[in-house]
Amino acid sequence: MPRLKRIGITVKSAFDHKDEAVERVIEVLKKEKCTIFVDTQRLKGHPCIRGCETIDEKQHLDLLIVIGGDGTVLRSIRELKNFSMPILSINRGTVGFLAEIELREADRVLPALLRGQGVIDERSILMVEAVRGRKTIFSGVALNEAVIAQGTIARLINLRTSVNEEDLTTYHADGLIVATPTGSTAYSLAAGGPIVHPGFGPAMILTPINPYSFSQKPIVIRGDSRVEVNVHMKVRKFADIEVNLTLDGQMYIPLQNGDRIRATVAKQTVKFLRMKQETFLSTLRSKLKWGER
């Protein structure tokens, strides 16, 4: 890898000792003679960013450093305009499945990564559309998952699902999760879905949420597939049923009866800067406590 010189920094909106964390990273970048660009929306007024430039979508950056947890990484990906730029996640959250290093490691590890001693880990993302009639009412990307679910009262909804225009099933359930391999350790796992190694390649995992039928189990399908989910609600008596499309737990789009959700694996990938190629199995051991008695 070439040396990384133009570095952007974004952070979690609120966490303890934010100034100290950002200042620590900036000190390393200055020692490495990097040009520093900061997310002034989330660091406005912080003295540690004096002399830094503001991140602008027109600028070319060699690397985006994200200080926070997985939620901050997901937000940053949603705001990305240039998917060729790699991301380095410095954990200041909780579990941090997407994090590469802890803040305490920055002084030691960050200089080596900036000097080109890291590797790029590419992750597939979903392209998701919501269609109402002939109109696309929403289009966006998700690294972890897209979820179609009801959230107001305990009433099941019908989600007629097809893959490549061939009927799969109608899920009579609380909802349906369409996840990437990266998202297999997130909501899909909590709903009973399988863990899929991100090195498996592009794929989609369909995981029903509390299905009425015991035979409707999670399924992993090819990444070049096209999934379409048609929303059907019985609204005669329970007219207040709300169904939403949620992307990565952060974007919420209200749906109506008859709306269609289309999901494909995007041509772009999200690139993470890693210290070494294989980290997923060690992540399972450390984050999910595998191997502990």
Q: Which residues are catalytic?
A: 70
Give the Cα separation of 229 and 260 in Å (integer): 6
Please tell me whether residue 21 adopts helix, strand or coil conformation: helix
List the structure tokens of 165: 């225009």
Give the Cα separation of 254 and 242 in Å (integer): 7
Give the Cα separation of 140 and 129 in Å (integer): 7
Please tell me whether residue 285 adopts helix, strand or coil conformation: helix
DSSP E strands: which ranges in the chain? 6-11, 35-38, 53-54, 63-68, 87-91, 101-102, 119-132, 135-142, 145-150, 157-163, 166-173, 175-179, 203-209, 219-222, 227-232, 243-247, 251-255, 260-274
Residue type (1 letter), 26: I
* Dihedral sign, Cα of residue 205, residue 79, residue 76, residue 17: negative
